[in-house]
Structure 1
Amino acid sequence: MYAAFAVYGIGVGATDASTNMQGVTVQRLYGRSIMTSFHGMWSIGAIVGALYAAACAKLEIGLMPSLVAVGVVGVAATLVLSPYLVRPAVEHEASEVSEVERPPLHVPWRPLVALGLVVVVFYLADTSVMSWSTIYLHDALDAAKSVAPLGYAAYQVGAVISRLAGDRFVVRFGAVAVVRAGTVVGIVALALVVVAPTPALAIAAFGLMGLGLPVIIPLAFAAAGNLPGSDADVAIARLNLFNYLGNIIGAGLIGVLATEGALRWIYVVPLVLVPSILFVARTFAPAKEMEAAAQARP
């Protein structure tokens, strides 16, 4: 089983990276922001997956047949849609060039690490909602078992709304302003989650959190794909590593804090860390602005 999970992880990692590469490529062809809507479809997929799992449980469909069905649909969709993916602008000219003649891949580490820290902080906060919101509502706020899952549902609904609408705000106000606004909304939401005296307020706060933080991640991948002087695909692949680092750190750190009498501390951790995004928000500036800023430095 461990080997199967390892193979699954390799596949998920490759898919995560390659789909974001494809999204950034398509965005470049569009000439405007589309990445938040692109990730909005992922959020819709998460909701559909949750509904599918609930339906399988209600119909008493076993784990194996339900997973096989998902696998068959996934493979079929990949085979049908893959011919329509965008190929690199330089058609396989590079295949005619020997490995010795190819220039070394270049990624500027300073802005990439800044974006990576944003990704780590986001996924730590995201893990706190995905893995612990139901337990928090049930054990800390005495929510009924039928009510406790609504916290995560509200978060995902908020994520869908913010991501589908995010591109319009990026076009109008710029990525940096959207990242800052999403961060501030996330900070307010996390504070409300920590102090919430009732399940209703906590659920509303989780929904507000979804309206703020999830819009940041697609913009991080878009920024990585447009770092001046870098190989876009390599930058996106390396940024994707921080995704799993955030999940690992979040699971370990929050798991240590998640004792029955201190469940509120689960959300104090992201509440303390999320404001750090404001200090590196400038990294989300479009490539032309970053190039101008670099040239202006002595």
Structure 2
Amino acid sequence: MTDARSRLRHGRLSLEVSFFVQGAVFALLVTRIPAIQTRYGISDGLLPVFLAAVPVLAGMGSIGTERLVARVRPGAVLRWVQPVVGLALLAAGSGHELWQVALALGVFGLSVGGLDASMNMLGVSLQHAYGRSIMLGFHAAYSLGGIVGATLAWVGAHEGLSLAVLYGPVVAVAVPTALVASRWYADRDDPRVQVLADDRLSGRTEVGASDRGMRFLLPLCLVMAFAYIGDSTVSNWSAKYLQDVLHGSDQVSTVPYNAYMATTLLGRAVGDLGVRRFGPVRVVRAGTVVAVCGFGVVSTAPGAWVGTAGFTLLGLGLSVIVPQTFAAAGRNAEERLGAGASDRAVARLNIFNYVGFLVGSPLVGALGEMWSYRWAMVVPMILALATFRYAPSFGPSGARYGGGHERPSTADVGRGGNGL
């Protein structure tokens, strides 16, 4: 009993480390894209091709991971793919020729797809083992890592550090840290950490997660894409919107994204408590309402600081949606298809992370040029509102836990079941 409890705690902490490291690494890449462009002499016309290739390859990596985890534990995939992501970041900042950065970003894209998929597979299976919502905590660690990575990138830019000098020490710390933490990953089929299925799932095995069998994922896939369209809108257009539309200064235009990241971290840090108290459907609907209000404030803001308040609301609203989408996909897959279907569902859902990222920024940019940026902000608002319609997909009837929304801890600790 004690060994299984300890294994779960260690698995949870080690996975939080992995999410944190990935958040920092990804932020260090995306915040220094202009420096990468300058280093390699990438033209403005060619840069979008490079940027689009990364999420496309990441989607391919997620598809490959779906097939790979049928033979290899997700923890093993994550253990070896995360160092590759870190080394690809270093390679992107250390080369001199165009083919070198193309290769580095290609490896980064493929490996980050496997990393995102396997991380969330482990997170979902750990949540099943705990029997209570912990998924938002993992994504809070990612957000915290993103803030740290963006801060390091700002320091590097302020001090005039080359990309190699900036990335080198970070990778030298992050890669060994992730490898050490990987010793304690807790996979679903770890003999010391078994998940007890609900009574109506007892004895069931996976019946085959065919494309037909996975149709129940469609609403969650749409929600995932909508959420990342909103997220990419903030990351790519918030500064330009404040400066060009709301006439904010250069300094003020940097505030919205930082505020967005801060409230994303806050929402995820406390979100699990909300899910435990009110259930996933109410939390997702509340997050959707807040996000829609945020876009509404942004699109009608009379000035820069009101616009910043809107982006702040957006962070709070969108923060809960993506982690709960992964959790719902895994839970629904197990309920409908039996034990083992969760990993495949998470891998397929993860693809729509990159779909939203690919669509969001060009969509807002094109609408802004043809129409106006104020009206362009209404489109992701409408898409976010659609999440309210799909909210029931986050809480199937069999996913009611103790206290109305959470079941008691289901970790198999010698069938004692005292909870964690």
Same fold by TM-score, threshold 0.5 exceeded? yes
CA contact (8 A) 1:124 1:250 kept: yes
Aligned pairs (5 A) from 1:1-298 = 1-89=101-189, 104-106=208-210, 108-227=213-332, 228-230=335-337, 231-259=341-369, 262-286=372-396, 288-289=398-399
User: Is there any run of 5+ residues in structure 2 with no aligned partner, and where?
Assistant: 1-100, 192-205, 401-420
Matched-pair identity in %: 40
Mark the runs of 5 or more structure 1 residues left unpaired by the alignment: 92-101, 291-298
Partner of 1:258: helix, strand, or coil?
Answer: helix
Deviates more, 1:81-90 or 1:198-207: 81-90
State how far apart, in whole Å, the 1-side matches of 2:397 and 2:140 are: 24
CA deviation digits over 1:67-114, x for unaligned, max 9?
2333222211121111100023265xxxxxxxxxx9644574232111
1:96 alignment partner in structure 2: none
**For 2:238, what is the secondary structure of its paired residue?**
helix
**Letter aligned with residue 109 of structure 1:** M
Measure the CA separation in 1 of the matches of 2:397 and 2:345. Answer: 14
Letter in 1 for 2:336: G
Deviates more, 1:27-36 or 1:253-262: 253-262
Tell me, yes or no, if the aligned pair for 1:166 and 1:215 is still in contact at 8 Å: yes
Residue pair 1:128, 1:266 contacting (<8 A) in 2 also: no
Q: Which residue of 2 is the match for residue 293 of structure 1?
A: none
| In 2, Cα distance between equivalents of 1:249 and 1:260 | 16
Q: Tell me the alpha carbon deviations over residues 193-239 of structure 1, each in whole angstroms, 9 at most, x when there is no partner.
A: 00001111011111111111221110000011111233111100110
Contact 1:40 1:163 in 2 (8 A): yes
Q: For the Cα contact (< 8 Å) 2:295–2:377, is it kept in 1?
A: yes
Distance 1:3-1:161 versus aligned 2 partners, 3 A rule: same
Number of aligned positions between the proteins: 280
Is the 2:144–2:265 contact (alpha carbons within 8 Å) kept by the matching residues of 1?
yes
CA distance in 1, matches of 2:283, 2:177: 33
Task: Confirm or deny: 8 A CA contact 2:214 2:345 kept in the other structure.
Answer: no
| C-alpha contact 2:243 2:249 (8 A) present in aligned 1 | yes
Q: Distance in 2 between matches of 1:235 and 1:167?
A: 22
Q: CA deviation at 1:27?
A: 1.2
Q: Which has the higher contact order (CA 8 A, sep 6+)?
A: 1
8 Å CA contact 2:237, 2:361 repeated in 1:
no
Give, in whole Å, the separation in 2 of the partners of 1:47 and 1:75: 18
Residues 1:260 and 1:155: Cα distance change in structure 2 (over 3 Å): farther
Q: Distance in 1 between matches of 2:130 and 2:254?
A: 38
The answer as to whether partners of 1:226 and 1:287 remain within 8 angstroms in 2 is no
Q: How far, CA to CA, are the matches of 1:74 and 1:21 in structure 2?
A: 21
Q: Is the 8 A contact 1:189 1:206 kept in 2?
A: yes
Q: Is the 8 A contact 2:224 2:325 kept in 1?
A: yes
Instruction: Report the AA paired with residue 146 of structure 1.
Output: Q
CA distance in 1, matches of 2:131, 2:399: 16
**Two-structure CA RMSD over aligned residues (Å):** 1.9
Rounded to whole Å, the distance in 2 between the matches of 1:11 and 1:226 is 25
Residue deviations 1:30-82 (CA, integer Å, cap 9, x gap)? 11001112111111111111100011112221012212333222211121111
Distance 1:104 1:180 in 2: 32
